[in-house]
Chains A and B, each alone.
Chain A
Amino acid sequence: MTVIDANRMHEIETRYPEYFHRSFRQRFGGLMILIATLLYSLYAVWFFDLPKLFAEAHWERVGIYLSQWVSYDVQPEFRIGDDGSIDIRYPRFSPLGDNPHPDWLVNNRDGSITVSISGTSRTVTVSKSETIVTAHGISVPVEVSSGAPKVVGPVPGWMTVYDDNVLADLGFAGDVSISVDRVKIRKRFIGWANFIFDTQSSFFDKSVGEVVSLIVSGPRIKPDQSNLSLAFDDIWNNSEWQHGDVWTKLFQTIVMAFLGTLLGSLAAFPLAFMAARNITPNRLLNQILKRFFDFLRSVDMLIWALFLTRAFGPGPLAGSGAIFLTETGTLGKLYSEGLENIDNKPREGIKSTGAQTVLVHRYGIMPQIVPVIVSQTLYQWESNVRGATIIGAVGAGGIGLKLWEAMRTNANWENVAYMVILILIVVFIFDAASNALRHRLMGTKTH
């Protein structure tokens, strides 16, 4: 920046003294607000006990959970029998189905089994006397013949030795837990397993071509149902992803927002006319209605939702009712403020022709207020689609509860990701649709 010299500075100062001799509040007000905010922040740090909380936080879970959003794992277990035989088991709901023969598991000629955790660089070879873990460029044999597993040679940093088992952490690719009679492997894959067909489906593990040809011309898998409807059934009722349920719940959320906003708008519309000072000259009625709107808004959507779930039982009806009550308050306030800001001249003009009150409202007020009403209502609708996901979690129906339950188990993070993506898509579509509609109705350009 250009810097001016002292003479010039002095000259300016004499010309505009009011800018150089300002009151205490003008000079230090901002600084004091800043200091107050800082002090408050310090108080908040103490109040919520942040240092302790952050020290005790399980930060390692961030990575684990986030990686679970986009991946799944398979957990084969190798049981080593007394006679030296190796028995492979998969958990009951393994994503590989009932009859897994994965190509990353190789039976060697000498009876041992090699599992590739990540290509050829990270492998586990299980035999009856030892398990060899290869990772980070070295191979570490673990003896399992005696009472406890024993690491042969130095123990690398990624391996932890416990009393009766040895744990090898192979990063994102998975981990291995070795004990004397069994080796448990967790192998992680990127992607969402069984997203379309679950392991119970007859279409499971078939390629796209096979599925299409089965649907188009294949023999009926179930004699009493066409393959197309069977395929649809299998997708819709996928037990892992619950597409049908998720989509229904998502639709419930949208319906809740739609019904609540529409009903709220219908209720708020006549009330707003009565609440507007300039249209209804009765001050008492104005005040009563305005406080009523405030009451509806202040006794929050959450409380209405809790009340209505007790009355109607959990479901979208309770949610719609809660949004309806809150929206009557919000939209009533917005509409009445809009009405108070209209130009009174058209009304007077129409009144002067001797028209009835209804006609005065119709032709004197409506043309001015309709764009405001439509625009505000669309705004609210859009924001209610977002809000409805939360009240869903307290039992008001919709996707919120499903989302909350999926998170609470701490295991279904991929389902959380799926629902989040669906919600984001819906919100963005509504955002765009309401923007487009609003600009079309108001005739303004998008920004």
Chain B
Amino acid sequence: MTIADTQPHMQSTQEIGTAWERMVARRRFYTILGLVILVVAFVSSVRFADESNAGHFFDRLPHLFDFLSWLIPKDWNDVWRALFDIANVNDKGGEEFNFDKGRVYVWGAFYIPEYFELMIVTINVALISTIIAFIFAVPLSFFAARNLTSSWPLRIVAKRLMEFLRAFPEIVIAGLFSAILSIGPVAAIIAISLHTIGALGKLFYEVAENIDMKPHEGMKAVGANWWERVRFAALPQVLPNFTSYALLRLEINVRASTIIGAVGGGGIGEELKLSISRGFGAKTMALVLLLFVTIVAVDQFSAWLRRRLVGEHAFLLQH
């Protein structure tokens, strides 16, 4: 907003000068007001959070690293043993060192270590739910795009549906379906898919609304119907961006499937939660390491693929 917009009738430099000063003063006032509100909200939130927490911040702060040191294994080689399910001499029947339990034998003596198997489950949950969501989000986004769908009720329905799917707590869907389908990764797949339909759909229809309409007009001129126009005029333009966003979402979903796993969706999240809550140092380290490496690998792979698909510009991180 400039002064000329608000007061077009002003002529003299002096008038403009005073108006400018007034505008600056007002802006400064709002900035300070905003900051004061923010500080007050911050201080009261900190106090509220501290009071309703089980342990208080300053009481517990010195113990923060106690806990971490407790998680550091006595023998660092245990981390590798835990990761690759190699039997440990410390194993005396307890759960902390039973590394060789849970191996998945594939062929004779060849086995997949337990944690790798769990990681595969988690990645599969993320991958399949991204694929499912992609299949549903593409048509939904075309229905929601202003330039492709002229019927506004359909557009509104599609947009509201996606908003609802985005906002609905994933954990509730996971809980509901684990009551129906028994606890396991499938409930997580459904929960993440539904959320992803909403999240991807929003990104998709924004892409679809920004396409070049000339091919569309050309198709219209030769009498193509809605389906043909979308298929031949819109889809080729948006597909690289769609794929890029889907890959971005895949990264997010790997994390999401870990979290849902921790609340009963199976996979590595559940194991991690158990391991941390029981204070198994070596196992926790192994799990964190595996998770870290996997997430970095998925991120890097998807970044590389996205760069090839759409170039540098589609690197906005959005949830």
A298 touches B299 (CB 8 A): yes
CB distance from A400 to the nearest CB of B (A): 6
A-B contact pairs, 11 of them (CB 8 A): A1-B219, A53-B181, A306-B276, A310-B277, A312-B55, A315-B53, A320-B49, A337-B315, A390-B171, A394-B273, A420-B168
CB distance from B61 to the nearest CB of A (A): 8
Q: Give 9 nearest A-B pairs by CB, closest first.
A: A315-B53, A313-B54, A313-B55, A407-B175, A383-B319, A317-B53, A316-B49, A427-B167, A298-B295
A315 touches B52 (CB 8 A): yes
The docked-state distance in angstroms from the alpha carbon of A303 to that of B292 is 10
List residues of A (319-355) whose CB comes within 8 Å of B's CBs. 320, 330, 333-334, 337
List residues of B (181-213) whose CB comes within 8 Å of A's CBs. 181-182, 184-186, 189, 206, 209
Is B140's CB within 8 Å of the partner chain A? no
Residue of A nearest to B63 (CB): A311
The docked-state distance in angstroms from the alpha carbon of A47 to that of B121 is 9
- Beyond A56-B182, A333-B317, A394-B263, whether A424 also contacts B167 by CB under 8 A is yes
Chain A residues with Cβ below 8 Å from B179 are 58, 61, 65, 407, 410
- Beyond A294-B299, A307-B67, A379-B318, whether A53 also contacts B49 by CB under 8 A is no
Is B131's CB within 8 Å of the partner chain A? yes
The docked-state distance in angstroms from the alpha carbon of A301 to that of B254 is 12
A37 touches B299 (CB 8 A): no
Chain A residues with Cβ below 8 Å from B291 are 298-300, 303
CB distance from A183 to the nearest CB of B (A): 29
Q: Among the listed stretches B38-46, B90-98, B149-157, which one makes contact with chain A, having 4 or more residues with CB under 8 Å of it? A: B38-46
Residue of B nearest to A1 (CB): B224
Number of residues on chain A facing chain B (CB within 8 A): 76
Chain B residues with Cβ below 8 Å from A303 are 272, 276, 288, 291
Which secondary structure dominates chain B's binding surface? Answer: helix
**Which of B124, B128, B206, B258 is the one whose CB lies under 8 Å from A302?**
B258
| Residues of A near any B CB (own CB < 8 A) | 1-2, 37, 40-41, 44, 47-48, 50, 53-54, 56-59, 61-62, 65, 248, 251-252, 255-256, 258-259, 262, 294-295, 298-303, 306-307, 310-318, 320, 330, 333-334, 337, 379-380, 383, 386-387, 389-391, 393-394, 397, 400, 403-404, 407-408, 410, 416, 420, 423-424, 427-428, 431, 443, 447
- Beyond A255-B49, A262-B42, whether A53 also contacts B169 by CB under 8 A is no
Is B48's CB within 8 Å of the partner chain A? yes
CB distance from A372 to the nearest CB of B (A): 10
The docked-state distance in angstroms from the alpha carbon of A65 to that of B173 is 12
Q: A58-B180, A298-B295 are in contact. List 7 more A-B contacts (CB 8 A).
A: A262-B42, A313-B60, A314-B54, A315-B49, A317-B56, A403-B171, A420-B168
- Beyond A306-B276, A312-B57, A391-B259, whether A53 also contacts B167 by CB under 8 A is no
Chain A residues with Cβ below 8 Å from B1 are 443
The docked-state distance in angstroms from the alpha carbon of A337 to that of B56 is 36
CB distance from B266 to the nearest CB of A (A): 10
Chain A residues with Cβ below 8 Å from B25 are none
Chain A residues with Cβ below 8 Å from B319 are 379-380, 383, 386-387
A386 touches B169 (CB 8 A): yes
Chain A residues with Cβ below 8 Å from B318 are 379
Is B260's CB within 8 Å of the partner chain A? yes
CB distance from A424 to the nearest CB of B (A): 5
Q: Which of A57, A383, A386 gathers the greatest number of chain B CB atoms within 10 Å? A: A386
Residue of B nearest to A319 (CB): B49
- Beyond A1-B228, A311-B67, whether A259 also contacts B288 by CB under 8 A is no
CB distance from A298 to the nearest CB of B (A): 4
Contact string, B82-95, partner A, CB cutoff 8 A, digits 1/0? 00000000000000
Chain A residues with Cβ below 8 Å from B296 are 294, 298
A312 touches B54 (CB 8 A): yes
